[in-house]
Amino acid sequence: MTRPSVRDPARRPWPARLGGALLASGLGAVAKATRRRPIHARGRTWRATLCVDAPVEHLGVPLFADRGVHPCTARLSRAVGTPPGWWDVGGLALRLPGAGSRGADADLLFATTGTGRVSRHLLRPVRETAGRPLTTLLPTRAGGRSFVLLARPLGEQFEIGIGIEGGAWHAVGLLRLDDEVADRALRFDPVVRPLAGTHAPGWVAAVREPAYRWARRLGRP
């Protein structure tokens, strides 16, 4: 008998599907009322460069398999949009041209969290978006293993690290913010534009996918 795929929406765990539906409803309602993004509506955008200088060859993710310099777009924002200095969840979004499957673009989303084995999966309100570590929060999979990415602020740049199976962080390179540009109305979506060699676990897709889909639809002008 063929084992059902966890990527099939009908086979995803019902608690995850319920969580995704509830999150989608909340974000969709905000988007419909405000006619803008329900979260991270305002931010600052840069032309940036990701320099990979300590590859992780065995992970099976082409972006991190070799040394290289990768031009990209970076956006820093605050989840709720509180005034500077107020508590909010910070966010960092990356658009990496050509880093997705078959040469497509790939998106990465980071949020301020802790850095421990458990706290890397827990949102952490901060006063300054770029003042605390950020992670990709929910795990993704590559080569049969689960991993999370870290962006640790270092002045005008970020150290990028990988934590595999909840283990210690391995620094793979630096993200440098080069030139600030006018904030662009990009919609970052790591479910639609994943890194080549990766896929989200079924329960992660079940939580994220409905929320992103309805936020996009209802947030359009």
**Spacing of C-alpha 221 from chain mean position:** 24
Of all residues in the chain, the percent with pLDDT exceeding 70 is 73
Please name the amino acid found at residue 208.
R
**What pTM value is reported for the model?**
0.78
Do 109 and 95 form a contact (C-beta atoms < 8 A)? no
Instruction: For residue 179, give the 3-state DSSP assignment.
Output: strand
Cβ neighbours for 8, distance < 8 A, ≥ 6 positions apart: 202
Q: 183: number of CA atoms within 13 Å, CB side?
A: 9
pLDDT tens per residue, range 122-142: 999 999 888 899 999 889 999
pLDDT tens per residue, range 167-178: 999 999 999 999
- Does the structure show a pLDDT above 80 at 163? yes
pLDDT tens per residue, range 19-45: 333 333 434 444 444 444 556 577 899
**Spacing of C-alpha 35 from chain mean position:** 23
Rounded to the nearest 10 degrees, the angle between the axes of helix 14-34 and helix 202-218 is: 20
